[in-house]
Amino acid sequence: MKNKYYLGVDIGSISTKGVIIDKDNNIIASDYLWTEGNPIEAVKKLINSLYEQIKGKNINVVCVGTTGSARYLIGKILNAGIVKNEITAHAIGTMDRVEDVKTIIEIGGQDSKIILIDKNVVVDYNMNTICAAGTGAFLSSQAKRLGVDIEEFGSIALKSKNSPRLSARCSVFAESDLVHKLQMGYKKEDVIRGLCDAIVSNYLNNVAKGKKIKSPIVFQGGVSKNIGVRKAFEEQLGEKITVIKDGHLMGALGIAILAKKSGIEKEFDFNIKDINFKTIGSECHGCSNNCEIVNVYKEDEIIDRYGNKCEKGISVG
């Protein structure tokens, strides 16, 4: 008899993450890849990658959980037993790895969030999805502008002895300010350090404004791998910042744990790469809301429809 395992998938606008865990929440397979504007194809690649890692082993995935911006769409495609928002998933995943965590700082590809936890319960949170300033996509674009490999960005920042004050309230203004500082004669490492400091200031004055940040603090998301930004957080907060080795997988881990805890068992088939899934947008005219509807098809059969804000909308099944 095969042992029971659980799959968690975190589908974001920039990246798609997945983990398979055992009954003790150990990650036995994982992957992280770019969504590239096509969550369906990204998840097909992800599922195939996870299957290759466990192929031939005594593993039976009995439940799938999905989280992230495309969680409902992918949840239907994967026959998920549980679908939850990313705040809940990230908190559950992080608390499993850092039991007494009080604050989660998360900066992803296109958004930022803060999650406050007390006695293993999320008590407050905030998200910023309006401006790209300070996110992973913003950092990548600035690294490219400076001719620096993004993987070396943080270590270069630590070489600075004279960091200028940069504005990072807006990505457009930040780029202009960066160019201006270079024209003034600041060294590249100084400008990079100034950018790291500005990203942290922007986060604390916007995303975390009015929030009481308590230690232990866990920094996660793609930007947490940037040692320059992590150092800037430690200096501005006066606290130690913890970065988990698998911090980029916390959302996927959290939803996998929730799938396990749900007690729901639904058959899962890894063989989805050749199945044709597609979505077609439409508009509901059941009332004056004119809701935008997402119609999900498997081959030529509609398997789900969502987006309605009232009961007048047409549902499937």
Q: Is residue 107 part of a domain?
A: yes
State the Cα–Cα distance between residues 199 and 154, nearest whole angstrom. Answer: 12
pLDDT value, residue 317: 46
Residue found by looking up tokens 């063989």 in the block: 271
225 has a pLDDT exceeding 90: no
CA distance 156 to 171: 21
Q: Of 97, 62, 98, nearest to 82 (Cα)?
A: 62
73 and 182 together in one domain:
no
pTM of the model: 0.84
Q: pLDDT tens, 9-42?
A: 999 878 899 999 999 999 999 999 988 889 999 9
Q: Do 214 and 166 belong together in one domain? A: yes
**What is the share, in percent, of the chain residues with pLDDT greater than 90?**
47
Tokens 């969504």 sit on residue: 35
Q: Containing domain of residue 51, as a range?
A: 3-93+251-262
Q: Is residue 24 domain-shared with residue 148, that is, in the same domain? A: no
* Reduced 3-state DSSP string for 56-73: CCCEEEEEEEEEECCHHH
Q: Is residue 267 part of a domain?
A: no
116 and 203, same structural domain?
Answer: yes
Q: Are residues 78 and 126 in the same domain?
A: no
The DSSP element (H or E) to which 32 belongs, if any, is: strand 27-34
Is the separation of the CB atoms in 20 and 61 below 8 Å? yes
233 & 140 share domain: yes
Residues 234 and 103 both lie in one domain:
yes
Question: Nearest 5°: phi and psi at 33?
Answer: -145, 170
Question: What integer is the mean pLDDT of 290-305?
Answer: 83
| pLDDT band, very low/low/confident/very high, at 264 (cuts 50, 70, 90) | very high
- Range of weakest confidence among 142-151, 218-227, 230-239: 142-151
pLDDT of residue 134: 65
What is the rounded distance in angstroms from the CA atom of residue 115 to the CA atom of residue 7? 24
CATH of residue 142's domain is: 3.30.420.40
Contact 203, 173 (CB under 8 A): no
Residues 106 and 234 grouped into a single domain = yes
Residue 130 falls within a domain, yes or no? yes
For residue 269, tell me if it sits in a domain. Answer: no
284 and 211 housed in the same domain: no
Q: Provide the domain count of the chain.
A: 3
Highest-pLDDT range among 173-182, 226-235, 288-297: 226-235
Answer yes or no: is 164 within a domain: yes
* 175-197 CB burial, b ≥16 within 10 A, e <16: bebbeebbeeebbebbbbbbbbb
Asked whether residue 314 is domain-assigned, the answer is no
DSSP string covering 185-237, please? T--HHHHHHHHHHHHHHHHHHTTTTT----SSEEEESGGGG-HHHHHHHHHHH
Q: How confident is the model at residue 152 (pLDDT cuts 50, 70, 90)?
A: confident
73-98 pLDDT, tens digit per residue, is 999 899 999 999 999 999 999 999 99
pLDDT, position 281:
86
Q: What is the reported pLDDT for 288?
A: 81
pLDDT tens across 106-118, in order? 987 777 899 999 9
- What the block records as the tokens of 63 is 């439940």
One domain for residues 84 and 123:
no
d(CA 84, CA 254) in angstroms, rounded, equals: 10
Tell me, yes or no, whether 117 and 238 share the same domain: yes
Q: Are residues 205 and 225 in the same domain?
A: yes
Look at residue 272 and tell me if it is in a domain. no
Residue 72 forms part of a structural domain: yes
Predicted pLDDT at 132 = 61
